[in-house]
């Protein structure tokens, strides 16, 4: 099957050819003809499947006819995060280069005035996060009554972030007769209810099971003590020892932890950036751009900030924290091993993470081996401990990045991109790390490099970690390989 059989316009086909893509991905092959036939579509697909182009390409074809009117966008795309919204815009810029379309982004952290000016000029494609969109409609600067096509992307993520009430409000502001394209990786009951309410006789397109990890990714776990500084030391060792590490995303469960790990790696001479929901938009974009261009090889990130980001060719993913929910593991791991490439995903696992690891192994249908030389009991063996469970639960009562722990809380991004919440991190904050006492030189750390450090101005001040002179376990001094 080639793109030319899908019914796309010549202009769009030329733009696709210019990107070098020759064959549609399964979601594109299945969804594009339905979108062009103006049917509602329920797409069950993860990021990485080519789902963005599955709606962008037919939208470009549809938009070739007609003109935008002031303050009345013709199409609307809802995204859960600013990064995803920006990424969709990049897709329009790339594939729509030959067309004179007005594409506007309405995301938090950017001035209302500039966004207003764009809306006044008339917008063919409006890409928005729900909170900022509603702010504009409430101010009277935006009318959704001209929307012919509505895309709700990453709907299950919207649910996690508490955006479903906003989505319901928005759906009532756009005409009943619009076409709706709805994408989600999973179908929890609340999402099913939304699809039943707001989609009209949709074509269902499902491309892969939501909970699968790709076979090209080597997955390993490394046991760790429960102290955060132990984990940071292990992380540094893993970074130094990892084979073929070109770049890596290091996931933490909490924004505060992102800041701490970022600061710690920076102090130890690693070239690193940070990405989390409390950084302002320009800092997030700058960190992401630098990482994409390879200017910084390491990115410490939270789930919400990193979900769905299109960063090709990430060689390694590290779970500094084991995610609270097993499907977050699948999403994290999905950042590497994309498009058939090899990748490595290593999770640092403390005793209180055992139950989560067991849930992950159950979800992905395989056990995750220990890195060579490490030893502990298996996740499932340790998972049963009620003490572990209690400790884990209390540890998780803290701040999270809007992920599922702590309930489905409402986190709208209304104009609040700059509210960087600098926080101390408890006792860790009190002791000051002595870099001299725990030196990491570029020669000792071939992958930790260039002292040229990455400016990430909005990163909350993080704690310095205590100087820890304890010896590393022997296994950490060896390259990481799967145990056979």
Which lies closer to ligand AMP via its Cβ, residue 52 or residue 344? 52
Which lies closer to ligand AMP via its Cβ, residue 57 or residue 228? 57
| Near ligand AMP by CB under 6 A: residue from 9, 24, 220, 323 | 24
∠ at Cα 223 (395, 367), nearest 5°?
A: 100
Which lies closer to ligand AMP via its Cβ, residue 24 or residue 223? 24
Structure tokens at 44: 């069950």
Residue 340: CB minimum distance to ligand AMP, A: 10
Q: Do the Cβ atoms of 116 and 141 come closer than 8 Å?
A: yes
User: CA–CA separation, 453 vs 447, rounded Å?
Assistant: 14
Q: Does 47 bind ligand AMP (CB under 6 A)?
A: yes
User: CA–CA separation, 187 vs 439, rounded Å?
Assistant: 49
Q: Does 49 bind ligand AMP (CB under 6 A)?
A: yes
Residue 427: CB minimum distance to ligand AMP, A: 40
DSSP symbols for 14-81: HHHHHHT--S--HHHHHHHHHHHTT--EEEE--TTSSHHHHHHHHHHHHHTSS--BTTB-SEEEE-SS
- Distances from the Cα of 4 to the Cα of 1, 13, 227, 298, 321, angstroms: 8, 7, 56, 39, 45
Which lies closer to ligand AMP via its Cβ, residue 311 or residue 416? 311
Residue 18: CB minimum distance to ligand AMP, A: 12
Q: Which stretch binds ligand AMP (CB under 6 A): 20-28, 95-103, 111-119, 249-257?
A: 20-28
Q: Do the Cβ atoms of 28 and 188 come closer than 8 Å?
A: no
Residue nearest to ligand AMP (CB): 52
Q: What is the CA radius of gyration of the chain?
A: 23
Contact positions with ligand AMP (CB under 6 A) in 185-244? none
274 strand-pairing partners = 300
Residue 312: CB minimum distance to ligand AMP, A: 6
Structure tokens at 353: 């993470």
Residue 339: CB minimum distance to ligand AMP, A: 6
Site string for ligand AMP, 310-339 (x = CB under 6 A): x-x---------------------------
Q: Does 21 bind ligand AMP (CB under 6 A)?
A: yes
Which lies closer to ligand AMP via its Cβ, residue 59 or residue 234? 59
User: CA–CA separation, 109 vs 419, rounded Å?
Assistant: 9
Using CB under 6 A as the binding criterion, the count of chain residues that bind ligand AMP stands at 14
Which lies closer to ligand AMP via its Cβ, residue 292 or residue 414? 292
Residue 259: CB minimum distance to ligand AMP, A: 27
Q: Do the Cβ atoms of 264 and 459 come closer than 8 Å?
A: no
Q: CB atoms < 10 A from the CB of 469, how many?
A: 8
User: CA–CA separation, 357 vs 364, rounded Å?
Assistant: 11
| Near ligand AMP by CB under 6 A: residue from 9, 30, 52, 266 | 52
Positions in the binding site for ligand AMP (CB under 6 A): 21, 23-25, 28, 47-53, 310, 312
């Amino acid at each position: 099957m080639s793109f030319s059989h899908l019914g796309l316009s010549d202009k769009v086909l030329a733009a696709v050819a210019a990107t070098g893509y020759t064959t549609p991905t399964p979601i594109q092959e299945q969804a594009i003809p339905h979108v062009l036939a103006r049917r509602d579509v329920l797409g069950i697909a993860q990021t990485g499947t080519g789902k963005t182009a599955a709606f962008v390409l037919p939208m470009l074809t549809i938009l070739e006819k007609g003109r935008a009117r002031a303050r009345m966008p013709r199409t609307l795309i809802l995204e859960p995060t600013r990064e995803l919204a920006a990424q969709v815009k990049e897709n329009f810029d790339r594939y729509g280069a030959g067309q004179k379309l007005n594409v506007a982004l309405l995301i938090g952290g950017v001035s209302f005035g500039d966004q207003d000016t764009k809306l006044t000029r008339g917008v063919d494609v409006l890409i928005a996060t729900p909170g900022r969109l509603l702010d504009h409609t409430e101010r009277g600067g935006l009318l959704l009554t001209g929307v012919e096509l509505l895309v709700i992307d990453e709907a299950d993520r919207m649910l996690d972030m508490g955006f479903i009430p906003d989505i319901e409000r928005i759906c009532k502001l756009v005409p009943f007769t619009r076409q709706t394209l709805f994408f989600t990786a999973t179908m929890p009951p609340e999402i099913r209810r939304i699809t039943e309410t707001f989609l009209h006789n949709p074509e269902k397109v499902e491309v892969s099971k939501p909970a699968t990890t790709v076979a090209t990714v080597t997955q390993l776990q490394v046991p760790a003590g429960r102290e955060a500084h132990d984990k940071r030391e292990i992380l540094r060792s893993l970074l130094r020892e990892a084979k073929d590490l070109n770049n890596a995303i290091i996931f933490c469960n909490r924004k505060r932890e992102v800041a701490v790990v970022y600061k710690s790696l920076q102090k130890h001479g690693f070239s690193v950036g940070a990405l989390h929901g409390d950084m302002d938009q320009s800092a997030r974009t700058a960190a992401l751009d630098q990482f994409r261009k390879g200017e910084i090889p390491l990115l410490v990130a939270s789930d919400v900030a990193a979900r769905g980001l299109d960063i090709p060719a990430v060689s390694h993913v590290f779970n500094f924290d084991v995610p609270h929910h097993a499907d977050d593991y699948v999403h994290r791991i999905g950042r590497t091993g994309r498009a058939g490439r090899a990748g490595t995903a290593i999770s640092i696992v403390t005793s209180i993470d055992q139950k989560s690891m067991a849930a992950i192994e159950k979800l992905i249908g395989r056990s995750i081996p220990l890195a060579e030389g490490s030893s502990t009991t298996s996740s499932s063996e340790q998972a049963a401990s009620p003490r572990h469970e209690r400790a884990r639960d209390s540890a998780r009562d803290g701040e999270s990045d809007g992920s599922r722990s702590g309930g489905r809380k409402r986190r709208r991004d209304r104009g609040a991109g700059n509210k960087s919440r600098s926080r101390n991190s408890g006792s860790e904050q009190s002791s000051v790390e002595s870099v001299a006492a725990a030196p990491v030189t570029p020669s000792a750390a071939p992958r930790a490099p260039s002292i040229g450090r990455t400016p990430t101005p909005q990163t909350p001040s993080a704690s310095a970690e205590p100087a820890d002179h304890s010896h590393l376990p022997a296994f950490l001094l060896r390259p990481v390989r799967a145990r056979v």
